[in-house]
Amino acid sequence: MLDVCLAGTAGMVPLPNRWLTTLYASCEGSSLLIDCGEGTQIALAESGLRLKPIDVICITHFHADHIAGLPGLLLSMGNIGRTDPVTIVGPSGLRHVLQGLLVIAGGLPFDIGVVEIDPDGDEIRNGFVQCGRMLIKAFAADHVIPCLGYTVEIKRPGMFLADKAEALGIPKEYWSRLQHGETVTVPSSAGLTSAAGPDGRTVDAAHTSGTTFMPSAVMGPERRGIKILYSTDTRPVPEMAELGRGADLMILEGNYESDEQIDKAIEWGHMTFPEAAETASDAGAQELWLTHFSQSIEDPENFADNARAIFRNTVVGHDGLRKTIDFKDPDPSVPQE
Amino acid sequence: MLDVCLAGTAGMVPLPNRWLTTLYASCEGSSLLIDCGEGTQIALAESGLRLKPIDVICITHFHADHIAGLPGLLLSMGNIGRTDPVTIVGPSGLRHVLQGLLVIAGGLPFDIGVVEIDPDGDEIRNGFVQCGRMLIKAFAADHVIPCLGYTVEIKRPGMFLADKAEALGIPKEYWSRLQHGETVTVPSSAGLTSAAGPDGRTVDAAHTSGTTFMPSAVMGPERRGIKILYSTDTRPVPEMAELGRGADLMILEGNYESDEQIDKAIEWGHMTFPEAAETASDAGAQELWLTHFSQSIEDPENFADNARAIFRNTVVGHDGLRKTIDFKDPDPSVPQE
């Protein structure tokens, strides 16, 4: 399962009652942060989210409201005893920006890994970053400066086919390893029965003392996992619907409340409530959260219908909005022996 | 008069209920900010302080909790239409730090002037920066990295001596200019009477058509102005009592609540409540505000007596604490003709 919390929902300017947009996602002890504007470490504290498990920080782009909080956050992570490396992901030029910002964050007690992604490059389609079980992919957004959107997925292996494993004569002590994606070699002496068929089994030529099984021999087809898509500071782009196809949750900006501001939205590279709703609808997403509200919108909830008329399952974001997304049926990663 | 507001009082880490330490001072339309940690622009908004009139920003040192909010603050100042230059003052190396931080604050619609002060240099004793009527001087603090403390003064000219001006026969239309520090030449035809004595009067040799008067001819001795001293992230240093002599207000850190933490205070270059109180007492200050509280101090007010036992007029700072400091008698800058 994936826990997500939208700890801030403001765009451009942090307000006394609205933190800058930031998303915290966690799964089995690893946490991921997307964007880190001024005050994000306080926003996380207010939402009761822990800094120490943050393994990966993804930055959409280099406008201050999305990255200015990074030095303070990293220093605070160091102060509370983080020593494991932290990976920072962002558009090309990230290394240069970090060199600048970290001039006030010397002596961090952990290493920083930097992953630069060229929004216009070919690699963006195949590259990914792992954060525990979370698989992070980027796509090119369409803003006034280079900008990335992100999908976060938890892949889900197929069901473990116990009948098949038994038919293959694989001793039970090997089941869990196969279930977790490991290829195993069962020694001849381990009680492999003659019932074992050729399906998925390869005899190890070099070591005839055993038989090697790949997970595919005993696992059903990959099942539906969990997927969220996050994109702010962008015009609608086709990749959102493509990559967000059937997403459990799309988190998109509603920088402007209605299409009356469409000219400004185009000029400044942002989306309106209706545009975000159309994007979620095109993607066939389960749910949409709106965020990154212009400071001119006092209460975004007042304009919820502008989105709900197009995509019914729209939630107007507020600081601290959270949700646990479960797999749709029992998690097969829990051993079923 | 000088308006001061302590918009934040936290040390090191911004907390959900305590902004990082920052001081906003304003006089006759010019404003000065000392330190700008993460979230300072929100702290100022919460205290109802305007960003646009900030002409000078003084930075004590380059730890993130004192400067990380600078890019966001400057961008917000630009967004609300500031076009006049802004002067940033700080220890040597400021230019390098700004180059780093401003990588995420491109396109500012105003120029930035940089004043670097070497805490160990000779110039520090004589140099000053003007912010409207406010005169800013720096002194070397004693922290784990180079750090400055600041005094802010409003000088106050002497009384205008109308009797003397009349005795010198200076026509009334020249009084206001003399009173404001201007040297004036009164043409012979302007009714200069024979009663004019030699006191303060010099006959302009090149242009015998007039008589030149300097302000000193008609002004009494300089009177007591307004002075505040601000210093955080430092061990006590003798300069505090010297430069803060008789200050209307000293704003000093009380990073640790009692002398039981003296070892930590020495190790990390900070002051305790009693040390700050002793400093204010040594200086003969009128009032002391404590600030820059360690996050381990939940309610600093609980430890007020640790300082008040030494310096009675101690105020334990809280976000938004403010005061208007008036001249002690009528302001002579208001024309008295």
Angstrom CA distances, B305 to B252, B257, B273, B277, B315, stand at: 16, 10, 9, 10, 10
Q: What is the pLDDT of residue B187?
A: 86
Question: A37 and A186 share a domain?
Answer: no
Model pLDDT for residues B227-252, shown as the tens digit of each residue: 999 999 999 999 999 999 999 999 99
Q: Are residues B317 and B188 part of one domain? A: no
| Residue A191 pLDDT | 54
Q: How many CB pairs under 8 A join A and B?
A: 97
A336 lies in a domain?
no
**Average pLDDT over every residue of A64-71:** 97
Average pLDDT over residues B303-321: 98
Give the least confident one: A118-127, A223-232, B143-152, B258-267. A118-127
How many domains would you assign to chain B? 2
What local confidence, expressed as pLDDT, does residue B203 receive?
Answer: 46
The SS3 of residue B302 is: helix
Q: pLDDT tens digits for B12-21?
A: 999 999 999 9
Give the pLDDT mean for B301-321: 98
What's the rounded mean pLDDT across residues B119-132? Answer: 89
- Judgement on whether residues A18 and A78 belong to the same structural domain of the protein: yes
The reply to whether residue B75 touches residue A64, judged by beta carbons under 8 angstroms, is: yes
Work out the average pLDDT over A141-145.
96
Reduced to 3 states, what is the DSSP secondary structure of residue B134? strand
Shortest distance between the Cα of A252 and any Cα of chain B, in A, equals 23
Q: Are residues B183 and B258 in the same domain?
A: no
The pLDDT tens digits for A315-325 are 999 999 999 99
Tell me, what CATH number does A316's domain have?
3.60.15.10
Mapping DSSP to helix (H, G, I), strand (E, B) and coil, where does residue B168 land?
coil
Confidence of residue B191 (pLDDT cuts 50, 70, 90): low
Of the pLDDT bands very low, low, confident and very high (cuts 50, 70, 90), residue B198 is: very low
B-interface mutation test, from A38, A41, A70, A73, most B Cβ less than 10 A away: A38
CB contact under 8 A, A42 and B105: no
What is the mean pLDDT of the segment spanning B90-118?
Answer: 96
- State which residue of chain B sits closest to A36, comparing Cα positions: B38
Mean pLDDT of A286-299: 97
Residues A84 and A116 in one domain: yes
Name the residue of chain A whose CA is nearest to B100's CA: A100
Distance (Å) from the alpha carbon of A95 to chain B's nearest alpha carbon: 12
| Residue B87 resides in a domain | yes
Q: Are residues A126 and A58 in the same domain?
A: yes
pLDDT on residue B199: 52
* Option in A76, A96, A104 nearest B97 (CB): A104
What band does A187 get if pLDDT is binned at 50, 70 and 90? confident
pLDDT-derived band at A334, boundaries 50, 70, 90: low
Q: How far is CA B296 from CA A295, B10, B28, B157, in A?
A: 34, 10, 38, 46
Contact: A46, B105; criterion CB under 8 Å: no
Alpha-carbon distance of B156 to A245, in angstroms, equals: 71
| Burial state string for B288-323 with b = 16 or more CB within 10 A and e = fewer than 16 | bbbbbbbeebeebeebbebbbebbeebbbbbbbbee
Q: Chain B residue closest to A18 (CA)?
A: B42
pLDDT of residue B333: 54
Residue percentage of chain A with pLDDT more than 90 = 81
- Residue A197's pLDDT band, with cuts at 50, 70 and 90, is very low
- Mean pLDDT score across all residues of chain B: 91
Lowest average pLDDT, out of A6-20, A98-112, B158-172, B257-271, goes to: B158-172
Residue A241: CB atoms within 10 A of its CB come to: 20
Given this model, what pLDDT does residue A148 score? 97
- From the CA of B20, how many Å to the nearest CA of chain A? 11
Strand order in the sheet with B30-34: B112-117, B86-91, B54-58, B30-34, B22-27, B2-8, B321-325
Reported ipTM? 0.84
Model confidence pLDDT, tens digit, residues A75-101: 999 999 999 999 999 999 999 999 999
Q: Count helices and strands (H / E) in chain A.
A: 10, 17
Poorest-confidence range of A211-225, B92-106, B135-149? A211-225
Contacts of B14 in chain A (CB under 8 A): 39, 41-42, 72
Looking at A217, A235, A257, the residue that finishes a domain is A217
Domain that holds residue A75: 2-157+222-325
- Of B3, B35, B55, B65, which is the active-site residue? B65
Question: Looking at the structure, do residues B141 and B188 belong to the same domain, yes or no?
Answer: no
Residue A62: list chain B partners with CB under 8 A: 103-104
Question: Are A103 and B100 within 8 A, CB to CB?
Answer: yes
What's the Cα-to-Cα distance from A65 to each of A7, A11, A294, rounded to whole Å? 14, 7, 12
- Give the residue carrying structure tokens 């390893």: A177
Q: Which residue has the tokens 């302009």?
A: B204
Q: Does the residue A333 lie in any domain? A: no
Higher model confidence: residue B189 or residue A234?
A234
pLDDT in the model for residue A328: 84
Of A194, A217, A240, which closes a domain? A217
Give the percent of chain A with pLDDT over 70. Answer: 91
Confidence check: pLDDT of A337 > 60? no
Among the partner-chain residues A45, A46, A64, the one whose CB lies closest to the CB of B71 is: A64
Give the span between the Cα atoms of B172 and A247, in whole angstroms.
Answer: 81
Residue among B14, B79, B105 minimizing CB distance to A42: B14
Average pLDDT over residues A302-326: 98
Binding-site residues on chain B for chain A (CB distance < 8 A): 12-16, 37-39, 41-42, 45-46, 62-65, 67-69, 71-72, 75-76, 79, 96-97, 99-105
Mean pLDDT of A272-298: 97
Question: Which residue from B62, B72, B103 is facing A38, i.e. has the nearest CB?
Answer: B72
Q: A335 lies in a domain?
A: no
**DSSP secondary-structure letter at B10?**
B
Q: What is the pLDDT of residue A313?
A: 98
Residue B331 in any domain: the answer is no
Task: Determine, for residues B97 and A103 on separate chains, whether the beta-carbon distance falls below 8 Å.
Answer: yes
Q: A63 and A210 share a domain?
A: no
Nearest to B64 among A12, A42, A71 (CB): A71
Contacting residues of A for B101, CB less than 8 Å apart = 100-101, 103-104
- Domain boundary among the residues A177, A202, A217 is at A217
* Alpha-carbon gap: B19 to the closest alpha carbon of chain A (Å): 10
Residues making up chain A, counted from first to last: 337
Cβ proximity of A66 and A262 under 8 Å: no
Say if residue A336's pLDDT is above 50.
no
Residue A11 has pLDDT above 90, yes or no: yes
Residues A325 and B314: their CA atoms lie apart, in Å, by 52
Are B13 and B81 found together in one domain? yes
Task: Please list every residue in chain B whose beta carbon sits closer than 8 Å to the beta carbon of residue A37.
Answer: 72
- Given this model, what pLDDT does residue A157 score? 85
Q: Do residues B105 and B9 share a domain?
A: yes
What pLDDT digit, counting tens, does each position of B267-295 carry? 999 999 999 999 999 999 999 999 999 99
Q: Do B16 and A42 touch (CB under 8 A)?
A: yes
C-alpha angle B264-B266-B271 in degrees, rounded to nearest 5: 90
What mean pLDDT comes out for the span A228-255? 97
B333 inside domain: no
Q: What is the pLDDT of residue B320?
A: 98
Contact residues on chain A for B75, CB-CB shorter than 8 A: 64
CB contact under 8 Å between A103 and B64, yes or no, is no
**How would residue B60 be classed by pLDDT, with cut points 50, 70 and 90?**
very high
Same domain, A267 and A166: no
Rounded to 10 degrees, what is the CA torsion of B103, B107, B108, B114? 50
Tell me whether residue A110 is in a domain.
Answer: yes
Note whether residue B150 is domain-resident.
yes
At A22-64, the pLDDT tens digits run 999 999 999 999 999 999 999 999 999 999 999 999 999 999 9
Same domain, A228 and A151: yes
Mean pLDDT of all residues in B62-78: 97
B144, B269 contact by CB (below 8 A): yes
Told to judge if A329 belongs to the known catalytic residues of this protein, a careful annotator would answer no
pTM: 0.86
